[in-house]
Amino acid sequence: MHWQKIKDEVVARLSGDPALADERPFIYIDSQQQQLHWVDIDDSKCRVYPISTALNGIGNRLESYMTPFGIHRIRQKLGGGQPRGMVFKSREPTGRIADDLDNREQDEITSRILWLDGLEEGINCNGVYDTFARYIYIHGTSDEYRIGDPVSAVCIRMKNDDVFELFDDVMVNEIVLIV
């Protein structure tokens, strides 16, 4: 892939905001391949992680139970300092560690949370399309064995070790493109 070209297209779609041109690195989520690409153009690095997007597919409407598409940013990073497998409810640690990583019964949020905010008005920002108001995250899961299949309730699931690694490398306001 031509990462610089993708990044330039993202900046152009956001009205050419020069502040975004300095955003490095960025995240590219390929829902068809069920992969998250962490791209650092400056260092010519790309790491690829398997993920799981929503069982119901890709879409932006409130209560659609779909993973939103388009251009986002990381608005908040939550869970730093918590142990691997910590289960979160309403973005707060519960004190319980998920030790069953084949938990298909619940869509548990574990380890780390990257809370996304849509940047495209009428697509994933404001009204019935608002990604932030929909509580869309990139997060760890207690259902690691199905990573690679679109089985999540709505968010982007990652393996706990992977989200730990990604969390330490990303910054608030980093761009996230979901296609």
pLDDT averaged per 10 residues, the chain (length 179):
79 71 79 95 85 96 93 96 96 93 86 96 92 96 96 96 96 94
pLDDT of residue 22: 61
132 near 116, Cβ under 8 Å?
Answer: yes
- Sequence-ordered list of residues with C-beta below 8 angstroms from that of 52, at least 6 positions apart, any chain: 34, 141, 143, 146, 147, 148, 149, 150, 151, 152, 156, 157
Q: What is the pLDDT of residue 104?
A: 83
Question: What's the pLDDT at 20?
Answer: 63
* CATH homologous superfamily for the domain 3-178: L,D-transpeptidase catalytic domain-like (2.40.440.10)
Residue 29's pLDDT is what? 97
Q: What is the pLDDT of residue 21?
A: 57
